[in-house]
Amino acid sequence: MILRIITPPLSANAYVLRSEKIAVIDPGGDADFILNALKNQGIKNVNAVLLTHLHYDHAVAANAIAETFGAPLLVHRDEYEFSRKFWYNGLYASVSNPQFVVDGEVIKIGDYKLKVMHTPGHTPGSVCFYEARKGLLFSGDTVFPNGSIGRTDLPGGTYAQLHNSLKKLSGLTVKRLYPGHGAPVENGNWHIRMALSFF
Ligand SMILES: [Zn+2]
Ligand SMILES: [Zn+2]
């Protein structure tokens, strides 16, 4: 079961993947809010915190969840290293003791096998998480429904890289797209193709 929790302050989506193990993808920008939301859902344990990128609206709550539940915090090394240079202006969240994920790695959490797709462009270490068997893509701020793409005008953003990343994603079979903002949609491939058509 996948639960979507819309988090303050910028309505970033936190996704809770519930099976015998529990993963939270992008806990959002407010620790108290997400901890309460998890409690209200009867969630007493979190086995892993996965981060599509470290922008504050997606990742400020990551440390609190990792500490509360003793869960590992997973992020791409490029993202972490870049964030160390830019955390001071508040754009990037500061995370403690992350574990680094690499492109192509598969993270198994209960019923979900999430393949890490390194998709730089919005940020240097943005990743998407792809569940091949179920056809699910958690796309962070890389791609949104109806052809929208992530901003590339912030520090670390690169338009050409985002283009390449979308080409990479367009090779996947995506039945359902779970973006970092806005509602999830069916037929993810169509939405990704739309985004590519604007380049
Ligand atoms: Zn972002
Ligand atoms: Zn965002």
Q: How far is the C-alpha of 25 from the C-alpha of 81, rounded, in Å?
A: 20
Neighbouring C-beta atoms of residue 177, cutoff 10 Å: 26
Q: What is the DSSP string of 135-146?
A: TEEEEETTB-GG
Residue with the two structure tokens 């990704």: 192
Strand partners, 7: 12
Reported confidence tier of residue 87, pLDDT bands at 50, 70, 90: low
Pairing of strands 136-140, 176-179: parallel
Is pLDDT above 70 for 76?
Answer: yes
Q: How far is the C-alpha of 160 from the C-alpha of 66, rounded, in Å?
A: 34
Count up the domains in the chain and report the number.
1
Residue with the two structure tokens 């993963």: 23
Residue 180 Cα to ligand 2 middle (Å):
6
CATH assignment of the domain containing 151 = 3.60.15.10
Residue 1 Cα to ligand 2 middle (Å):
23
Residue 56 Cα to ligand 2 middle (Å):
8
Residue 122 Cα to ligand 1 middle (Å):
7
Is it true that the peptide bond before 9 is cis, omega within 30 degrees of 0? Answer: yes
Per-residue model confidence (pLDDT) at position 89: 73
List pLDDT tens digits, range 143-192. Answer: 999 999 999 999 999 999 999 999 999 999 999 999 999 999 999 999 99
pTM of structure: 0.97
36-64: average pLDDT: 97
Per-residue model confidence (pLDDT) at position 88: 63
Residue 144 Cα to ligand 2 middle (Å):
11
Average pLDDT taken over every residue of the chain: 96
Residue 126 Cα to ligand 2 middle (Å):
11
Residue 55 Cα to ligand 1 middle (Å):
5
Q: How many C-alpha atoms does 168 have within 13 Å on its Cβ side? A: 22
- For residue 181, what are the domain limits? 2-197
